[in-house]
Amino acid sequence: MRMLLAGEWVDRAETIDVRDPFDGSLVDTVPSASPEDVETALAAADRARETARRMTTFERWRVLTGAAAIVRDNLEDFARTIAREGSKTIREARKEARRTVNTLTISAEEAKRLNGETIPFDSFPGGEQRRGHFQRVPVGVVLAITPFNDPLNLVAHKLGPAIAGGNAVILKPATVTPLSALKLTEALLAAGLPSDVLQTLTGHGAVLGDTLVADPRVRMISFTGGLEAGRRITARAGLKKIGMELGSNSPVVVWKDADLEWAAETCVSGAFWAAGQNCIGVQRIYVQREVYDRFRDRFVELTRAYKIGDKLDEATDMGPMITETEAERVSSWIAEAVAMGATVLAGGGRTGALVEPTVLEGVPETATIHREEVFGPTVNLYPFDDLDEAIRSANSVDYGLHAAGFARDVEVCFRLIEGLDAGSVLINDSTDYRLDSMPFGGIKGSGLGREGVRFSLQEMTEPKVVCWYLPGL
Ligand code: NAP
């Protein structure tokens, strides 16, 4: 596929291969953008600010609704693209494509709800004969940088609100999964987005990132990705708005009166969705000791039943990790935990990029797989006697995106809601439940600010105050 630059679809002599991580087969190639392309994109986006700002609310709504319809009408094609270039199975990919329709539809709706407030200027002496209000105006140019694990919907989470808010956008999708983003770019143009309002640059973040991030023509950076890149971008950004959606290491606490069957089923899915490459995937589960053995046995049974392999096979539950290197990293973390005394209850093996769904027990808090974001298909189980101690251990990492608790006792539920340090606490659901319109984001190393269309739209616009002095009033 080609990239979109200054209103044109362009090729470049230097290209990047997009390969299926399951078998290494070539899916497509994309241009490798050069530093000159970055300058072209920045200049074009800066010029397109006016075009974007002048799109009426109705036009923004029409483009976003039209793009949502295109994704819906071509759902299988979008799903196959997600499944081939990334890690998701076809069933997981269909769900992401359906969510993308929602994200674009919500963005269209929110465009119509973007409003301000009147300001009571006469509420203090000195404000007499003044009337006014504030309205929300676009920030100008939004730089959107996206990761590989939700290659379509996370792009929609940035483009949807940016367009709804009247901004020009430069999109830099993950190098390993650029095709879904390019297809969404095509859909937006087909739905009537002026072609210069969006620049979709394909190329390596390590090469293009520093210049894009530091440029003063970019007024907001909306980044989703890992902590390391997030820290680097924040350090280089200078004076501009920043939204950081980073990783996590999500804990679940299971109390003795919980529906154990539901907790096990939904947490197995929450741990191994997208081969565990999910920022809100379940990584650590604390289970009250009285029900620990029952929960563990059922969890292990369900894990062992997981079918791993070809992503395009309807029967496959879990595909490969995004690269063999990532799979090797996860294997080495499992090996470290075992060397520190942990036991493998299920899985633990690896073939190429395919890591078996793995359940560990007896992982010490000092192990990397306890402390860091694993971003792979592994889960640690811990029995506990004291709820406060379970909450302390659940909070003992430098992340806080989602946390979950399973219980029927309302008091226990409230202790979990109040005690767990996270952007969201899910009660009786796995940590990987998310609605695309809810405020989404984390604390500590999980990031800054909130996404979820309405909340992104606030971040991507600014209040502009209008004050009238009318002495005749
Ligand atoms: P990543 O390596 O941090 O890359 C994310 C994006 O940043 C890619 O487009 C990457 O480009 C780009 N990038 C890398 N270095 C950059 C730099 N110095 N300047 C500008 N851009 C740069 O993350 P990933 O491996 O794709 O995704 C996994 C991570 O994303 C996990 O930590 C996961 O938890 C997190 N995530 C968070 C959320 C959330 O909403 N909180 C959602 C999904 C994923 P290249 O691809 O060219 O390197």
Q: Which two tokens stand for residue 373?
A: 């974001």
**Ligand 1 atom showing the smallest separation from residue 204 Cα:** 47
Asked if 260 and 116 sit in the same domain, the reply is no
Asked if 265 and 165 sit in the same domain, the reply is no
pLDDT band at 231 (very low <50, low <70, confident <90, very high): very high
- The pTM for the full model equals 0.97
Q: What residue has token string 């379940």?
A: 282
Provide the number of structural domains found in the chain. Answer: 2
CA nearest neighbour of 211 among 8, 43, 12, 447: 43
Q: Identify the CATH number of the domain in which residue 113 sits.
A: 3.40.605.10
Range list of H helices, 243-378: 260-272, 289-304, 324-339, 368-371
Q: Give, as one character, the DSSP assignment of residue 151.
A: T
Query: Region 238-252: what's the mean pLDDT?
Result: 98
Q: What is the pLDDT of residue 308?
A: 97
Asked if 207 and 266 sit in the same domain, the reply is no
Classify residue 434: in a domain, yes or no: no
Asked if 285 and 399 sit in the same domain, the reply is yes
Torsion 51-438-221-209 (CA) sign: negative
Please state whether beta strands 130-138 and 15-19 pair in parallel, antiparallel, or not at all (unpaired). Answer: unpaired
pLDDT in tens, 84-97: 999 999 999 999 99
pLDDT in tens, 197-221: 999 999 999 999 999 999 999 999 9
3-state secondary structure of 318: strand
Q: Give, as one character, the DSSP assignment of residue 252.
A: E
Q: What is the pLDDT of residue 465?
A: 98
pLDDT in tens, 91-127: 999 999 999 999 999 999 999 999 999 999 999 999 9
Whole-number percent of the chain with pLDDT over 90 = 100
Asked if 209 and 277 sit in the same domain, the reply is no
Q: Which two tokens stand for residue 138?
A: 């676009």
Cα gap 324→305, rounded to integer Å? 23
Classify residue 298: in a domain, yes or no: yes
Classify residue 20: in a domain, yes or no: yes
Q: What residue has token string 């397109």?
A: 48
Q: Give, as one character, the DSSP assignment of residue 146.
A: -
Q: What is the pLDDT of residue 96?
A: 98
Residues 136, 158: contact at Cβ < 8 Å?
no
CA nearest neighbour of 271 among 333, 347, 343: 347
| Beta-bridge mates of residue 383 | 287
Q: Give, as one character, the DSSP assignment of residue 451.
A: B
Q: HSE-up of 400 (CA within 13 Å, CB side)? A: 18
Q: Give, as one character, the DSSP assignment of residue 6.
A: T
Atom 30 in ligand 1: residue holding the nearest Cα: 225
Q: What is the pLDDT of residue 21?
A: 97
Torsion 218-220-226-227 (CA) sign: positive
Torsion 169-86-68-279 (CA) sign: negative
Our answer on whether the CB atom of 244 is closer than 6 Å to any ligand 1 atom is no
Atom 46 in ligand 1: residue holding the nearest Cα: 174
Q: What angle do CA 373, 376, 378 make, to 5 degrees?
A: 90
Cα gap 193→186, rounded to integer Å? 10
Asked if 276 and 351 sit in the same domain, the reply is yes
Pocket probe mutation, ligand 1, options 246, 248, 278, 321, max atoms within 8 Å of Cβ:
246
Q: What residue has token string 């080495």?
A: 332
Residues 251, 420: contact at Cβ < 8 Å?
yes
Asked if 184 and 296 sit in the same domain, the reply is no
Our answer on whether the CB atom of 42 is closer than 6 Å to any ligand 1 atom is no
Query: Region 27-51: what's the mean pLDDT?
Result: 98
Whole-number percent of the chain with pLDDT over 70 = 100
Asked if 34 and 16 sit in the same domain, the reply is yes
**Ligand 1 atom showing the smallest separation from residue 227 Cα:** 32
Classify residue 472: in a domain, yes or no: no
Q: What residue has token string 């999708």?
A: 173
Atom 9 in ligand 1: residue holding the nearest Cα: 174
pLDDT in tens, 404-456: 999 999 999 999 999 999 999 999 999 999 999 999 999 999 999 999 999 99
Interval between CA 260 and ligand 1 midpoint (Å): 35
Query: Region 340-356: what's the mean pLDDT?
Result: 98
CA nearest neighbour of 184 among 54, 87, 96: 96
Interval between CA 408 and ligand 1 midpoint (Å): 37
Asked if 84 and 192 sit in the same domain, the reply is yes
Asked if 34 and 145 sit in the same domain, the reply is yes
Residues 321, 355: contact at Cβ < 8 Å?
yes
Q: What is the pLDDT of residue 285?
A: 99
What's the domain range around 284? Answer: 250-427
Pocket probe mutation, ligand 1, options 224, 330, 443, max atoms within 8 Å of Cβ:
224
Q: Identify the CATH number of the domain in which residue 339 sits.
A: 3.40.309.10
What radius of gyration, in Å, describes the C-alpha atoms of the chain?
Answer: 23
Residue 322 has phi, psi (to 5 degrees) of -65, -35
Classify residue 98: in a domain, yes or no: yes
pLDDT band at 149 (very low <50, low <70, confident <90, very high): very high
Classify residue 52: in a domain, yes or no: yes
**How does the average pLDDT of the chain come out, rounded?**
98
Classify residue 417: in a domain, yes or no: yes
Classify residue 438: in a domain, yes or no: no
Range list of H helices, 86-141: 90-113
DSSP output for 166-215: T-EEEEE--TT--HHHHHHHHHHHHTT--TTSEEE--S-HHHHHHHHHH-
Q: How would you list the strands of the sheet with 3-5, edge to edge?
A: 8-10, 3-5, 198-200, 168-172, 141-145, 220-224, 241-245, 447-448
Write out the H or E segment, with its range, that includes residue 152. Answer: none
Q: HSE-up of 6 (CA within 13 Å, CB side)? A: 13
Asked if 229 and 254 sit in the same domain, the reply is no
Provide the annotated active-site residues: 245, 279
Our answer on whether the CB atom of 148 is closer than 6 Å to any ligand 1 atom is yes
Asked if 56 and 179 sit in the same domain, the reply is yes
Residue 466 one-letter amino acid: V
Q: How far apart are the first and last CA of the chain?
A: 61
Query: Region 119-136: what's the mean pLDDT?
Result: 97
Q: What is the pLDDT of residue 44?
A: 98
Residues 260, 296: contact at Cβ < 8 Å?
no
Q: What is the pLDDT of residue 317?
A: 98
